[in-house]
Amino acid sequence: MFRQGRLRGRLRVAGAVPLALVATMGYAAVPAAAGGSPAAVVSPAAPHPMPSCQEWQTITLVPQTPAKPGSSASPTAWKPWCHNAPPTPFGHAAWDPPTVVGGPQLGQSGVIVDAEPGVGALPEVGDVSYVLADLDTGDILAAKSPHAWLRPASTLKTLTALTLIPRLDPEQVVVATDDQVAANGTRVGMVAGNPYPVHSLFEALLMLSANDAAYGLADAAGGYDETLALMNAKAKEIGAFDTVAVDPSGLDEPGQRSSAYDLALIGRAAMALPDFRKYIVTRDAVFPGGTDKRTKQKYEPFHIPNINDLLANYPGAIGIKPGRTNRAQHTFIGAATRDGRSLIVTQMGSTSGSWKPTAALLDWGFANADRVAPVGRLVEPGDAAPPRPLAEVPASLAAGAEGSGAKGPASGTPRPGDQTSADAEVGRSFPVPGGGVVKGALVLVTLLVGAGAYLVRRRHDN
Task: Give the active site residues.
Answer: 154, 157, 209
Angle at 212 between CA 409 and CA 228, to 5 degrees: 40
Distance CA 294, CA 279 (A): 33
CB within 8 Å of 92: residues ≥ 6 apart: 149, 389, 393, 397, 401
Cα separations in angstroms, 221 against 197, 211, 225, 226: 13, 15, 10, 7
Closest CA to 196 of 87, 327, 289: 289
Contact by Cβ (8 Å): 86, 329: yes
Distance CA 89, CA 244 (A): 14
Contact by Cβ (8 Å): 265, 240: yes
Cα separations in angstroms, 26 against 78, 80, 419: 10, 12, 39
Q: Where are the alpha helices (DSSP H) in 221-293?
A: 224-237, 260-270, 274-281
Is residue 164 classed as helix, strand or coil in its secondary structure? helix
Question: In the 8-state DSSP scheme, what is residue 210?
Answer: -
Residue 356, phi then psi, degrees to nearest 5 = -70, -40
Q: Where are the alpha helices (DSSP H) in 249-389?
A: 260-270, 274-281, 309-313, 356-368
Distance CA 144, CA 353 (A): 18
Angle at 125 between CA 121 and CA 129, to 5 degrees: 105
Closest CA to 344 of 283, 258, 267: 267
Distance CA 237, CA 241 (A): 9
